[in-house]
Structure 1
């Protein structure tokens, strides 16, 4: 019994995975950057676990929310530019999701 590996197919899958991961990360990063420039900085409260090393207080959470609101206020973009940045951000997130769905479809249908 002999096992043969199609190295060309292996390299093809590797390159496709590398490009796909790069696209997902790039679309997400650009989308997040545009979201912040559009004045919608995402503030996520830290999760508290029972075995957490550090406990985040309510005061720290309020301070982070205040800093995000302050950063959103001092944006030098006009309202039209903010809307355009938000639309670009949402488009990037859609493209990020489309890249993930396309990868899953390629795996499911192409295999």
Structure 2
């Protein structure tokens, strides 16, 4: 019994996974950055988990929302620049969603 490994195919799958993960992380982080520059910093409310190590309280969430609103008012960007950053953020998130849908389609169709 001989086991033959196609190292070329292995390298191809590794390269595709590495590039895909890198592109996904790059565009998601760039989208978050543009979202913050547009003055729309994401603030997450408190979560209730039974075995969580630490949970943000309502007071801490309000403090974070207040700090985000204050930072948005201090932004040196004009309204047009903020709108452009918001469009760029949504475009980055669309690229992320497209990459995930493309990857799932490749898996389902080529399986």
SS of the aligned residue for 2:27 comes to helix
8 Å Cα contact 1:48-1:56 kept in structure 2: no
> How many equivalent residue pairs?
111
44-53 or 28-37: bigger deviation: 44-53
CA separation in 1, counterparts of 2:74 and 2:64?
A: 16
**1:90 is matched with which residue?**
90
SS at match of 1:72: helix
2:10 alignment counterpart:
10
29-38 or 39-48, which deviates more: 39-48
TM-score by length of 1: 0.92
* Alpha-carbon separation, structure 2, partners of 1:56 and 1:94: 29
Structure 1 partner of 2:32: 32
Deviation at 1:48?
2.2
Give the stretch that moved more between structures: 53-62 or 74-83: 53-62
CA distance in 2, matches of 1:96, 1:54: 30
After TM superposition, the score normalised by the length of structure 2 is 0.92
Q: Does the residue aligned with 2:47 lie in a helix, a strand or coil?
A: coil
Whether the aligned pair in 2 keeps the contact of 1:28 and 1:92 (CA below 8 Å) is: yes
Runs ≥4 residues deviating over 6 A: none
RMSD: 1.3
Structure having greater relative contact order (Cα 8 Å, sep ≥ 6)? 1
